[in-house]
Copies of this chain bind each other. A is one copy, B any other.
Amino acid sequence: MKSYRKELWYNVPGRRAFVNITPQVEACLRESDIREGLALVNAMHITSSVFINDDEDGLHHDYDEWLEGLAPHEPVGKYRHNRTGEDNADAHMKRQVMGREVVVAVSGGRFDFGPWEQIFYGEFDGGRAKRVLVKIIGE
């Protein structure tokens, strides 16, 4: 069994954004030289997500509005977590809706994607450098 590990760094200037990280994760797979196995791609931070969906700007706008409706940032004071001096309680919730990680099959040396699947980093508390972990195991 082979295994491969890499950290990818992202620094989103605003509070929230969705970044298509498929090219960087595919570069990891090529570097790993693994042809059959499983790839785990996860946010290493608890106010961000890794998820698979469509690379369409309108959808990302809709996700942002929808998540803000489900877990509003304001008023910051309504969250007990924010009494610790943070203002990111809403980001911890948005991340649970969108998920921490994806596991992707590796078949024939490629990610075994459906027709529109793309891997995204979802940032809900940006403004600093944060990491995504890529771990691939197989042969």
Contacts and interface: CB of A to CB of B under 8 A. Distances in A.
A30 interface: no
A137 B37 contact: yes
Interface residues of A, number: 59
Contacts of A115: 44-45
Contacts of A79: 58, 62
A11 interface: no
A90 to B, nearest CB: 9
B133 A5 contact: no
Contacts of A37: 1, 3, 137
Interface string A126-137: 000001010101
A101 interface: yes
A135 B113 CA distance: 12
A66 B34 CA distance: 41
Contacts of A15: none
Contacts of A1: 1, 36-37, 138-139
